Structure 1
């Protein structure tokens, strides 16, 4: 990730590193809602940044599009990018999400 070149990527990386699970979301996005439900259903207390409610949100969303190819939801676990909806669901289904969450201290199962 080229954080030095884009201050919004730097901001995203800093925010993502502050908590075990960070979701960049939009309050009106149904896929974002589904991702938040997935994590809360697993007992994860994710930190959620609603980009449509943040004055820096539009620029952060543009940076996420450059990073992921899609705007939201963007999920970080342990400061590392997991990805958007498809990657998160794939890692949940194939069993790699729970170990990531345990390693980050987000769940203790």
Structure 2
């Protein structure tokens, strides 16, 4: 793990990827869209591939994937979920990614507004980088539909199924309260 941490400190932004990983490429594109020029290490092209990948799996705390792994300012930030949450979840206590033509997205927005929250809503079909964001979301979520994607309190919560499930179990309001999106 020392080698990973050393490489992670080589540049202001370092991303560990694999040349075949679409999510890694989407995260790299997202980071570059902010004007950063990350140092990118493709594990499948490195000699010490196996050792570094094992260290990254341990660092990420997951069993199946080691990439993407992102370091910013010599500090390990996380993988794709953490980067998406940092990017989108910090702008408002509730952020919803949707499309202007998606009635399910509109219903989820209406449900959340019904609690008194005022979510920041981004309609991907109206954003200049919306197609790239949608592609990253599809890969991140592992499904065909990218919207709605809901972030509450800087955490990616999920799509419509997760939000409706939280509401049915009485946990959506608690989550909105905890994120300071609503008050009693």
TM-score where L is the length of structure 2: 0.54
Identify the structure with bigger relative contact order (alpha carbons < 8 Å, sequence gap 6+).
1
Is 1:51 aligned to 2:117, yes or no?
no
Helix, strand or coil: the match of 2:107?
helix
TM-score where L is the length of structure 1: 0.89
Q: Which runs of 4+ in 1 moved over 2 A?
A: 7-13
Number of residue-to-residue matches in the alignment: 106
| Aligned partners of 2:88 and 2:151 also within 8 Å | no
Aligned-residue Cα RMSD (Å) equals 1.5
| Aligned partners of 2:85 and 2:151 also within 8 Å | no
5 Å matches for 1:6-21? Answer: 6-7=27-28, 8=30, 10=83, 13-21=86-94
Query: Residues of 1 paired with 2:177 and 2:113: CA distance?
Result: 15
- 5+ residue gaps in structure 1? none
| Aligned partners of 1:12 and 1:60 also within 8 Å | no
- 5+ residue gaps in structure 2? 1-14, 16-23, 31-79
